[in-house]
Amino acid sequence: MDIATFFGVVSGFSLVLLAIKMGGGLLWFWNAPSAMIVMGGTIAVTLINYPISDVLSVVKVLKNAFLYQVPQPTAIVPEIVELSKIARREGILALEKQAKKMKEAYLNKGVELAVDGMEPDAIRGILENELIFTEDRHKKGAEIFTIMGTYAPAMGMIGTLIGLVQMLMVMDDPKNIGPAMAVALITTFYGSLLANLLFLPIAGKLKVRRDDETKYKELIIEGIAAIQLGDNPRVVEQKLHTYLSPSERALIPKKQTEQ
Q: Which of residues 185-204 bind its own copies (CB under 8 A)?
A: 185-186, 188-189, 192-193, 195-198, 200-202, 204
DSSP 93: G
Residues 22-41 that bind its own copies (CB under 8 A): 22-24, 28-29, 33, 36-37, 40-41
Determine, following the binding rule CB under 8 A, whether residue 253 of this chain makes contact with its own copies: no
Residues 201-240 that bind its own copies (CB under 8 A): 201-202, 204-205, 208, 212, 215, 235, 238-239
- Please identify, using beta-carbon distances, which residue of 133 and 256 lies nearer to its own copies: 133
Question: Which of 75, 86, 162, 251 is close enough to bind its own copies by CB under 8 A?
Answer: 162
Determine, following the binding rule CB under 8 A, whether residue 145 of this chain makes contact with its own copies: no
Binding residues for its own copies, how many (CB under 8 A)? 96
Half-sphere exposure of 223 (CA within 13 A, CB side): 29
| Smallest distance, its own copies to C-beta of residue 128, A | 9
Which long-range contacts (C-beta less than 8 Å, at least 24 apart) are formed by 205-213?
205/5, 205/65, 206/61, 206/65, 206/138, 206/141, 206/142, 206/145, 207/139, 207/142, 209/1, 209/64, 209/65, 209/70, 209/138, 210/135, 210/138, 210/139, 210/142, 212/70, 213/70, 213/134, 213/138
Contacts of 254 by beta carbon, 8 Å cutoff, 6+ apart: none
Residues 104-143 that bind its own copies (CB under 8 A): 113, 118, 122, 125-126, 129-130, 133, 136-137
| Smallest distance, its own copies to C-beta of residue 137, A | 6
Residues 50-89 that bind its own copies (CB under 8 A): 50-52, 54-55
Asked whether 65 and 205 are in contact (CB, 8 A), the reply is yes
Dist CA 192 CA 40 (whole Å): 15
Question: Which of 178, 254, 258, 259 is close enough to bind its own copies by CB under 8 A?
Answer: 178
